[in-house]
A and B are shown apart, each in its own frame.
Chain A
């Protein structure tokens, strides 16, 4: 009955590879997010989708491409992985896009680039 689930939990891969992280929410929420938490623990927004439409796209390299096949899913594909991409990536969802909405987070995907 997990509300926001991400897979995989851990991802260890070589520099230059392409990888994907999947996220699903069963809360019936309209809005989903991807955040990056780096080694300094700052949690920064990367993307946000509302009803499958991209509404926030922060300054993120083009190598990162989100995809939302339906409003319950938001996947993140990363091309040509670099050492600096090592971080924990969190998916989250909220009822709608308003900043008065609590966000529900998954438990993160720990990406390590060798």
Chain B
């Protein structure tokens, strides 16, 4: 069956360190993979999109990688701050084209001062 797994339900790290979140998928061939941030009581907010032919994408302190051989995306936040504490969701399309996004369950990141 098709599945998206995000490495852990919760991740605690010290302020200033790099947070690395993992998104693994099986039985999909996505053309695009997206990352979102969700704060308690709020809707998800789009962060980054990476295409299947892109290895890496950066935006300020954020970096996303996409390995279609490993069927994995890594999401990094460098120099993490307490304000980065939130749930991070990965989402991908089932296969290239106009297919709905399928979301992972999310990883709740806590950055401790």
Contacts and interface: CB of A to CB of B under 8 A. Distances in A.
Interface of A: 4, 33, 40-45, 48, 55-56, 58, 90, 92, 97-100, 102-108
Pairs A-B, 9 closest by C-beta atoms: A105-B43, A99-B93, A102-B46, A43-B103, A45-B100, A100-B32, A97-B98, A107-B43, A105-B44
B105 interface: yes
Given A44-B103, A45-B100, A107-B43, 7 more contacts: A40-B105, A90-B43, A99-B93, A102-B49, A103-B44, A105-B45, A108-B41
Contact of A99 (B41, B98, B103): B98
Contact of B43 (A48, A92, A97, A99): A92
Interface size classification for chain B? 20 to 34
Contacts of A45: 100-102
A107 B39 CA distance: 10
Contacts of B44: 43, 90, 103, 105
Contacts of A44: 103
Contacts, number: 56
A61 to B, nearest CB: 18
B98 A108 contact: no
Contacts of B32: 99-100
A99 B45 CA distance: 16
Nearest to A9: B41
Interface of B: 30-32, 34, 41-46, 49, 51, 87, 89, 93, 96-103, 105-106
A44 B100 CA distance: 10
A33 to B, nearest CB: 8
B31 A100 contact: yes
Contact of A107 (B30, B42, B97, B100): B42
13 contacts: A33-B100, A41-B105, A42-B103, A42-B105, A48-B100, A97-B98, A99-B96, A99-B98, A103-B34, A103-B46, A104-B46, A106-B43, A108-B42
Contacts of A56: 100
Contacts of B99: 99
